[in-house]
Structures are given as C-alpha cells and as structure tokens.
Structure 1
C-alpha cells in the first residue's frame, strides 16, 4: 500500500504541472490572438530566386544578389559619389518596404547635396562582419565605391557555427531555447511578449539571460576576435583602395539608458574603432529619446522600422557629409 501511495504521489507531482500548463496553453490560444512570426532574423534569397513574399512585404534582389535596384556600368561611372553600405538584416531591411530602407533614405537625402550620388545596399541578412568583408571584396570591383559604410549591430560579435544543412546559427543555448519555446507554446510566447514590452524595455535584461559572448570581452572570445580581425581587414582594404570608411553603430533597441544590458560591448566597440582610427556614428543617444517599441517593426520583430530609419538617416547623413569631404 505504501509503495502504491508513493507511485500515486509521483504521478500527481508529474502530471499536475503538465495539466496546469496545458490548461494555460489552451486558454492562451483561445483568448490571445497575436500572430507569432516563424522567424525574425530575415530572409535569404539565393541562386535564381530573386523575389519572395513574406507577410505584406515583397523582397527583391538584383542580379548581383543584393537588395538593390540594378545599377549598370554607365550609371556607376557617371555617379560622382558611390557609397557601398555593408551590414546585416538591419541594412538588408527585414520587415521594411524598399522605400523605408536605410540606404534608400540616405541616398534620397544626399542627392539634395550631391545629385549624382548612389547608395548601394549590400546588406546580408543574418550574417556578421566577417561576411560583410567578403561582400566588400565581391562587390567593390563591380560598383567601385569611393565610400564604405559598415553598420554594426550587437550580434556581430557572437560566435557562429554551421549545422549539417549548411545553415549558420549564433551559438547561444539560452537564445535557442527561448526561440524553441516561443515558436511552440502560445503561453510562453505570451509571457515573453509581456516581459519584453513591459519589463525589459524599462529595466533591462539580466546578464544571465544573454549570450556570454557579450560580456568580459577579450581575446578568449572567438566572436570578438573574428569581429576585430574583420574590421581591420575592411579598414586596410579601404586604405589601399583610397576609399573612405565610416562605421555606424546600431544599438539593440531596448532600454537605452543606464541599464542598457550591452553597455560593456557598446563601449568596447567604440574603443576599438577609436584605436583603429576608424570614424563612426553612434546611434545610441539618437534613439534614446524614444520608447523601444516605437522603433520596432513589431513586438516579435525588433529590427528597426520606417520611423527608426528616418531618425537614423538624419544623424548618419549629417556625419557622412563631413567625412566624405575630407
């Protein structure tokens, strides 16, 4: 009888939370009608596939594999300013129509001063500074830029790996677990949504919930090493090619105040760029006046939106015009 009681107690201990969370999952699915996106890291178009529809956005790439209109030889030669913009999905434009792209807006504003300017969007969705250097090597002989813009985002310092299918992922078990649960449980997605929009944007994210690659940055961190090496390669290429270079630092669009969770990384990147004699524009204080949710594509997609690219464009162009005249 005692053994039977123990077994019953164990079963109750196991089944009770399963039933409890199962009921919460059912209730959440019934009353919370928020659509959870399958991904918020961007899209990759490869091979002959030059167009894809995602939600209400049609993404198109040109014959060179970049999200930019076709620019042929005659226009390239005649342009008095050719700016190549390197970066990840923020530059590529995850969640944005072509008119809202940062490169479109920079070109439009610069053309008021330089009618012959072209700005080329060489953003690569989901990749990092190492791949941006490869983009520079591939596209420079085609577009012959005389100015390079490199957009840095926080996850550029994360170590990456390639799985059996050839897909690349950031090495962050906590991040991967969070995404796994968020996509499969509506209840977990609801809790995460509440945490992100009402708690994290005000007081920040605890360090233990973030990848360790963001903290205690030194040469023991593979992602940090790769980032620095890639930046120096880009700098040296530009020096040898007599091309001006400027970095744009995009902060993670969360609480941009004294509780900013990536403060150490942010300062280390600025310190490294200064030591490497690379001019940069820091958008931290530019965005600090806004609520983070004002700048997101959606609560599930924290890439910058149309409003954010407009705000960033003014700050970038102001600094860009000074640097281009040097």
Structure 2
C-alpha cells in the first residue's frame, strides 16, 4: 500500500468546543498545503513512541492550509486524549499521519445523520457537504448534556434540519421517531451514524446504515484469546515467516520480530494497519471493513484479525 503523508504540524489554534472537548487547528510550519481529504476521513496523531491515536477531521475539506480535529478528554481512556488535553497547547508540534477514509460519504439525494457525543466530528463535514450538494438531509444529535455537546453554535446555522437532544433534557434518542421502523427509508436515503457502541448497534438494527466506531465490537485489545489456534504468517516483501501464537495478534508478532508497520488504535477501528492479503483466508475481527470487503478477502486489519487456516501470506 502507498505510504501515507506524514509530517510535523503545528497547533496553530486550540479552542474549547464544549465541556471536556477541545479542537486543534493544525498547520504546516512552512505553510505547505496539506493533502486533500473528504468527509469521513481521519488522521493519526503520533503523540509519543507507541502512543498513536486516530481522530476524525472535522474542518473544511476545501481548506488545504489546515486540518482540524476535536478530542474528548476521557480520564479512563488509554492516554491519548489526556496527552492531547495536557500537552498540545497552541504552538506545540505533533507528528500527523494520513488522511485515511473508511467512512466515506456516498452521493445520494437524501441523508439521515445520527451523532452521539464526540461522534459529531466526522458528521460535521458530512452535513456541510450534503447542504452544499442541495440534498435533503437532517441530523439527530445527542449527548449527555447540552454543555458537553460540541459545535452547537456552528450547527445552529442549519436551523430545523438539526435536532439537538441532550439526554438530561429529552432522554435517550428517539430513533424510531427519527428513522422510523426498520427499513422504512428508501434506497435513495442513506443513514450515517457515529457515536458510542450502543447507539450504533441500535441504528444498525433498524436496517442498512453507514457507521463508524470509536470502540471495537469485540472484547480484547489484542483481538485474540487463548483458545485461538496458532498460524504462520509469511511476510512476502520481508522474506520472513513468523508464527502467530494464541493470544497474540499479527501486529504484535511482527513488531516483536523487528518489522516496522504502521498502526494506530490497535483495536480494529481505524484502518491504519490495513494490509494486503496475498494468500490465505482471514478471520476478520475489525469494525472497519464492510461485509462485501470481508468477502473479497483482499485486506485485513493485522491488529485484531487472524487466519482461518494454518497460513497467511501478507504483502509486508
């Protein structure tokens, strides 16, 4: 696969968007233009050695001078959000890699958007694109409290197309009232949702939807448990063959062998470690690939996915 763009960018601005949410405006120190991107894309922030986190781009895709991300402070997280909130002040420099897009906005005459909490970040440029295209669209946006919900001021410009539903005011999101019973929207209306797992599960249960997860659908950061079988993985370009034992991922196995590989979330949600399959059948355990992409068997996420048989050959 083509190596992604990677550069040290400067935090040109930092803004408090809501309680516990800050946005960072990132620019090239020499004012070089940044790669183009489309709604749904994310970038990786390389915060420290071994601490890499993906964040959705939520600015204007037409602005090649800056990238904007927004980060929720999660005190019980794995350290990424704490680093951003504590270290990345205005003027700080951070290594940034990307962009990648496993959550693209497909052209359609109509859209139903659903966002929960910080899940508004990839949805924000989507609603702007839908508005610019003249499509019929609406957004249902939920959060714990109004004060915890980012970008409300920006979204207010869309008027009644945006329904703001803080849980402490309105209760849980009324998905039945908004989306209707399962499969009632026609094929010409696309549903996009990003937010916490229970929200995504509820939206997906109502029929076809495009979703993006910030948390894995399967337990275990390594995507494997002690009952999984061992298998061989041949690294075609490296000329090496390694054994992936039960309880260890392909990612950890190749890194322990000294093979450099790009990765970020290590949970099967971001797509950074997507790798081409040369031979073999993958046991897909990610939250990125569609059913059609899994059936095609062309790539896998090495941070969580494994092998259905005794051997995989990967383009590494």
Q: TM-score, structure 2 length as denominator?
A: 0.29
Identify which of structures 1 and 2 has the higher relative contact order when contacts are C-alpha pairs closer than 8 Å and 6+ apart: 1
Larger radius of gyration: 1
Higher helix share goes to which structure? 1
Q: TM-score, structure 1 length as denominator?
A: 0.28
